[in-house]
Amino acid sequence: MPPDFVYPEIRFRVPGLQVWLSRPTVEQSHHREDGTGALTLSYHVRGLPEETTRVPCIDASLRWGTTRRSKADPFTSVAVAVSGWITIHPDAPKALEWYMEQQSKLTTMLAFLAGVPMSPDCIQASIDESPHEVSVMVALRDAKYCPYTNLHDFYMPRNAMGIDLALVVGNWFERYPKVHMPSQLALSVVASERLWLHVEFLSLMQALEGFHRGLFEGNYMTDEEYDSVKKALGDAIPPGVPPDHKDALRSRIRYGNQFSLRKRLNELAALLPDSLRLMILGGEGQVPRRWVDTRNYYTHWDEELRSNVLDGQGMYYANVRMRHFLRALYLDFIGIPKEAIHASLCNTSNVSQHLAQLNAIDRRRENPNDTSGVILTVTEQKANNLDEPIQSQSEVGTSAGPSEEGVA
């Protein structure tokens, strides 16, 4: 097709979407034959209709659906493979670049909900009113696919959102321009694996700051009020200061009206209720001062902050919490009820269980008698007398990060 060709619609196959949608396709039943007692298993493959979501701000409709492929023979096997698809149908045909832009918005939203990347692995386009379609070959940079086949693997499947899918999609597309750039940074770091600790920490901090800048003005006073302050500070620079030093001072004065990172993070935390802050941030539910000092140290190399910088294990734990902080903020941003976010933090997904382990370890450190949460207590016993256990216990939590203190 020519580069400027416009398509009436394009659909995207997204691995894991058929599960996330929470619409079972295959039903299983069994019964025993009267008299013989023979057990018969029956599988019913349902043909589910597509769901349509209207998105007024892009003058388009989205269709959510599934397709099925089956293979069977009467003697050895039967197999049914179900795939999930999203079809983007604009009111007027659009160029390929427009579809890829909308697809990127959608998969970003789905990734925050699912707790895992939701990239498409197949793209098909309609070229006219006929049923024939063409495959679209697009190299998606850093594409990662959802491996989940069980509803309980997802951080927040569709049936746990507590709000209609159409409202969530509408909110996301309408509000997306405010967080376009920071959301791409947030998704890239949250979806990445095995990043160097310091790179991940600084990227998460940058993503949080960007989210605040996208939503709020973030100034201590109005621009008009600050003009007089800026002029007074600029005039106060001694005339003997070299030009390059004077430019550096004026640059600092220029940005002197903007909120500090600590104030931005505290304002973001205030968007969440106490119950979520306690679970996500730990401690008393406040953004730890050490997070801010660590970021400022590695940004400005201020030796006065060095004593309060996080060590390797502390930075790893901070990264886990900041990932949850970002996800909760984005879900709240698109209208997910806070009760639904709280419920997802307590579910069986690996994402939520990791945070639960950190919180359980923290509680145990504060109170050794607190055995709530995901903690495995190991009791050692003497080899010569198994009836006399040694009174020592150790806490074991799953951690993929480096440890300078040993495990938990």
Say whether both 210 and 61 belong to one domain.
no
Cα–Cα distance for residue pair 25/151, rounded to 1 Å: 13
The answer to whether residue 210 is domain-embedded is: yes
From residue 335, alpha-carbon distances to 104, 215, 330, 373 in Å are: 20, 14, 9, 29
The answer to whether residue 257 is domain-embedded is: yes
The answer to whether residue 376 is domain-embedded is: no
For residue 254, pLDDT beyond 60: yes
The answer to whether residue 13 is domain-embedded is: yes
What is the mean predicted confidence (pLDDT) over 8-14?
Answer: 94
pLDDT at 55: 96
Say whether both 137 and 243 belong to one domain.
no
The answer to whether residue 132 is domain-embedded is: yes
What is the mean predicted confidence (pLDDT) over 164-191?
Answer: 94
Residue ranges making up the domain that contains 83: 6-32+40-156
Cα–Cα distance for residue pair 343/163, rounded to 1 Å: 14
Tally the domains of the chain: 2
pLDDT at 397: 43
Say whether both 124 and 213 belong to one domain.
no
* Residue bearing tokens 């009111």: 91
Cα–Cα distance for residue pair 332/142, rounded to 1 Å: 26
Say whether both 310 and 230 belong to one domain.
yes
Say whether both 245 and 347 belong to one domain.
yes
pLDDT at 404: 36
Model's pTM, two decimal places?
0.83
Identity of residue 59:
D
Say whether both 184 and 137 belong to one domain.
no
Residue 193 CA to its chain's centroid (Å) = 13
Cα–Cα distance for residue pair 238/234, rounded to 1 Å: 9
Q: What's the full length of the chain, in residues?
A: 408
In three-state form (DSSP H/G/I as H, E/B as E, the rest C), the secondary structure along 90-130 is ECCCEEHHHHHHHHHHHHHHHHHHHCCCCCCCEEEEECCCC
For a pLDDT cut of 70, what percent of the chain falls above it? Answer: 87
Cα–Cα distance for residue pair 408/386, rounded to 1 Å: 26
Say whether both 275 and 343 belong to one domain.
yes
Say whether both 214 and 312 belong to one domain.
yes
For residue 142, pLDDT beyond 90: no
The answer to whether residue 90 is domain-embedded is: yes
Residue 212 main-chain phi, psi, to 5 deg? -65, -45
For residue 139, pLDDT beyond 70: no
User: Taking the CA of residue 195 as centre, how many other CA atoms within 13 Å lie in the half-sphere pointing to its CB?
Assistant: 18
The answer to whether residue 371 is domain-embedded is: no
Say whether both 95 and 226 belong to one domain.
no
List, for residues 354-364, the tens digit of each pLDDT value.
999 999 888 88
**Between 384 and 305, residue with greater pLDDT:** 305
Average pLDDT over the chain, rounded to an integer: 86
Give the residue from 87, 122, 156 where a domain finishes: 156
